[in-house]
Amino acid sequence: MRIMPIPIIVLGAGASHDYTHYGNPPPLTDHLVNEKYLDLDIISEYREASYLISELAPQIITQNKSFEKILSSIMKSSGQHMHRKHQFIGLQFYLRDYFEKLSNNFNDINNYRTLISKINDHSNGQAHLATFNYDTLLERSIGYDRFQSSSSYINTHPYVTKLHGSHDWAFIGSKNSDRIIDEIHPVTTAYEYFKRDPNYINSIRNKGTDPYHISEISGSSERHNIFKLPAIAIPIIDKQEFLCPSRHIEMLKRNMEQTDRILVIGWKAGDSNFLDLIKDHLKEDALLTVVSKKTETAREIVDKLKEIKNFSKTEYYGGGFAEFASSSYCENFFTQEVKLV
């Protein structure tokens, strides 16, 4: 078997949306407000999130506007108001519970497993998968038991970097914090805790604190004395930072600097932070292969990436993840020779 540099595989929402032929597909971001995907049972637990979704839904459904653009506009114009901060906290809790429920309905027959088989067949089991998805469909396809600590994502192949967080990650806050204790109105849930001080999460992130996997928290002797805040990046344009352990990003940078090929599946190339990562760290003259549901969209993504990086060869395919994963084009991505200058 020919040993090659570790391929980089980028997975966007379109990859999870098209991950299996069976059952209802996970939503794309704009689908989150549609009746088919909205979970009223969960949203009733986080009432503040319903205000945001009420505002987003008609603009997305009837005016064909983007979830991320509308939410970005709200955050820019009124995001510092306390009621808006509560709404954004509520949205994070809603998305956490939503994608946990979705992930628990995992289907064993799926395209992620086909992709993993191709990695095992043609890349000696080695790859670095960078995903923007909150769900754990990829991890469950690889074997969920492996992903029980923050270090487990990058200590065994295939490596996984979750750029925008995960439903099973959390930041923590102490129940005994002097900022939160209120004898008259005691805080009893994590949601109430972070609503009481919605700026607390920003203070955590500004310190560069990494999120924990919930299994690490559950195994802590202090687990009964902490509240868990969802480690999920709000879906807005130009998210301020990656929301994953810093060492995951450092590992990704190193592998980008050594790879000779990158595969993009279901990602719109809209995250400026990751575009900068490609620009600054991806090896020059690598092979670029882009997969999208529509050929025209895939070609547009190739053109966008070519504006920031030189590639020795570019390929694009329509038909989506399902069609690509089972085709010879997927095998060809791993096996073709790439000559780096």
List per-residue pLDDT tens for the chain, 341 residues long. 444 689 999 999 999 999 999 988 899 999 999 999 999 999 999 999 999 999 999 999 999 899 999 999 999 999 889 999 999 999 999 999 999 999 999 999 999 999 999 999 999 999 999 999 999 999 999 999 999 999 999 999 999 999 999 999 999 876 665 555 555 556 678 888 888 888 877 777 767 788 999 999 886 656 667 888 899 998 888 666 789 999 999 999 999 999 999 999 999 998 999 999 999 999 999 999 999 999 999 999 999 999 999 999 999 999 999 999 999 999 999 999 887 66
**C-alpha to C-alpha distance for 246 and 209, rounded to whole angstroms:** 9
Distance CA 298, CA 303 (A): 9
Q: What pLDDT is stored for residue 5 in this prediction?
A: 83
Note the pLDDT of residue 241.
75
Instruction: Find the DSSP H helices in the chain.
Output: 13-17, 40-43, 47-61, 67-78, 82-104, 111-122, 137-142, 190-196, 200-206, 214-218, 246-258, 272-281, 295-306, 320-325, 328-335
Pairing assessment for the beta strands 212-213 and 159-162 based on DSSP bridges: unpaired
Q: What is the pLDDT of residue 275?
A: 96
pTM over 0.85: yes
- What's the pLDDT score for residue 194? 85
pLDDT for res 180 = 54
Ramachandran quadrant class, 64 (left: phi over 0; alpha: psi -120 to 50; beta: rest): left
The whole-number pLDDT of residue 203 equals 76
Residue 303 has φ and ψ, to the nearest 5°, of -60, -40
Angle formed by the axes of helices 246-258 and 272-281, nearest 10°:
40
**DSSP code for 341:** -
Token output for 280 = 């600054």
Structural domains of the chain in order of their starting residue, each with its CATH number = 8-23+109-164+241-335 (3.40.50.1220), 29-104 (no CATH), 170-232 (no CATH)
pLDDT of residue 4: 64
